[in-house]
Amino acid sequence: MQDEQLNRNIDANRIVVKIGTSSLIYPSGEINLRNIDQLAFVLSSLCNQGKQVILVSSGAIGVGLNQLSLTERPASIAAQQALASIGQSKLIMMFSQRFEHYGQKIGQLLLTHDVFDYPQSRQNVLNTFDELLQQRIIPVVNENDSVAVDELDHKTRFGDNDQLSAIVTSRTNSDLLIMLSDIDGFYDMNPLKNPEAALISQVSQINQETFNLAGDKGSRFGTGGMVTKLLAAERLINENRQMVLANGRDPRVIFNILDGEPVGTWFTALQRKEISSHGQS
């Protein structure tokens, strides 16, 4: 781990954007319509620039809670899965409406872990990703929470969408994962408890010391925390890919990230090798 102020050379053609529940749902439980609109605007603009974009979106259960006017996530798995079913249909409807406003088509992919575990299903879903991207359609990805379970040796859950976004970035051979959360980046101590906490602008190696700095709890609407984000970053660094963790309060920050501005925390290997990626280096 280090914090050198290096010039960010973020040359990415195929980009995965992961947006967390906290960026889609206000603390009150109401839906953040402004952010949904701004996200659609930004990603549509990137497609107009010739970028290939994949959106990994959390929020199904959060939107489901909103739709049923509930303030707390229910304890039972069946109730949570029912909420996810309700919320996902509403969420994709809102995405469809806002992306259509900017002339951008989207396609929905609801995934479970076993899709990537088995070669035939993995290849089928990767073919779907490729076909959508070639047609300049944005795949909108979420875990299929209404059916996913994690018990005994029948594991279908990814655990959280931080891990899902890293797996999608890896499997689709994407260049960059932009993870939008409710924090400005990775700090040297908990900024919620220590006002002297300093943002670490660049991390090139993740080890036990790095994990020791991380907390382990997300918002009441989401499931992730800093540890899951570091696990995602660790996977991508090891694969010579890049990840930027930034605050999702305004999705237009994606433009700043791609312009190389020092926004959030940039996770990247010190010496990145040239890699072949769908015709791009």
Is there a binding annotation on residue 161?
Answer: yes
Mean pLDDT calculated for residue range 197-214: 88
User: What local confidence, expressed as pLDDT, does residue 175 receive?
Assistant: 96
Is there a binding annotation on residue 128?
Answer: no
**In this predicted structure, which of 82-91, 175-184, 263-272 has the lowest mean pLDDT?**
263-272
Q: Look up the CATH number of the domain holding residue 212.
A: 3.40.1160.10
Q: Say if 110 falls within a structural domain.
A: yes
Q: Say if 274 falls within a structural domain.
A: no
**In this predicted structure, which of 69-78, 105-114, 267-276 has the lowest mean pLDDT?**
267-276
d(CA 214, CA 209): 9
Q: How many folded domains does the chain comprise?
A: 1
Q: What is the pTM of this model?
A: 0.88
Q: Of 37, 43, 38, which is closest to residue 55 (Cα–Cα)?
A: 43
pLDDT tops 70 at residue 278: no
Q: Say if 44 falls within a structural domain.
A: yes
The residue segments making up the domain with residue 83 are 14-267
Q: Say if 54 falls within a structural domain.
A: yes
Write out the two tokens for 201. 């602008």
Q: Say if 94 falls within a structural domain.
A: yes
DSSP state of 278: T
Mean pLDDT calculated for residue range 240-256: 96
Q: Say if 248 falls within a structural domain.
A: yes
Q: Of 216, 217, 171, 166, which is closest to residue 56 (Cα–Cα)?
A: 166
User: What local confidence, expressed as pLDDT, does residue 113 receive?
Assistant: 81
pLDDT tops 70 at residue 41: yes
Is there a binding annotation on residue 228?
Answer: yes
Is there a binding annotation on residue 248?
Answer: no
Average per-residue pLDDT in the chain? 86
User: What local confidence, expressed as pLDDT, does residue 166 receive?
Assistant: 96
Is there a binding annotation on residue 145?
Answer: yes
Is there a binding annotation on residue 225?
Answer: yes
Is there a binding annotation on residue 181?
Answer: yes
Is there a binding annotation on residue 58?
Answer: yes
Contact 149, 216 (CB under 8 A): no
User: What local confidence, expressed as pLDDT, does residue 171 receive?
Assistant: 96
User: What local confidence, expressed as pLDDT, does residue 151 receive?
Assistant: 40
User: What local confidence, expressed as pLDDT, does residue 274 receive?
Assistant: 45
Q: Say if 9 falls within a structural domain.
A: no
Is there a binding annotation on residue 224?
Answer: yes
Could you give the 3-state DSSP secondary structure of residue 221? coil
User: What local confidence, expressed as pLDDT, does residue 271 receive?
Assistant: 61
Distance between terminal CA atoms of the chain?
A: 25
pLDDT tops 70 at residue 276: no
pLDDT tens figures, 111-166:
988 888 889 999 999 999 999 999 999 999 998 877 765 543 335 556 578 999 99
User: What local confidence, expressed as pLDDT, does residue 152 receive?
Assistant: 33
User: What local confidence, expressed as pLDDT, does residue 149 receive?
Assistant: 57
Categorize the per-residue pLDDT at 11 as very low, low, confident or very high, splitting at 50, 70 and 90.
Answer: confident
pLDDT tops 90 at residue 5: no
Mean pLDDT calculated for residue range 13-36: 95
Mean pLDDT calculated for residue range 14-24: 95
Contact 191, 247 (CB under 8 A): no
Is there a binding annotation on residue 223?
Answer: yes
Q: Say if 278 falls within a structural domain.
A: no
Rounded to whole angstroms, what are the CA distances from 5 to 28, 41, 184, 189, 245?
A: 37, 30, 17, 19, 16
Is there a binding annotation on residue 174?
Answer: no
Mean pLDDT calculated for residue range 92-106: 98
User: What local confidence, expressed as pLDDT, does residue 32 receive?
Assistant: 96
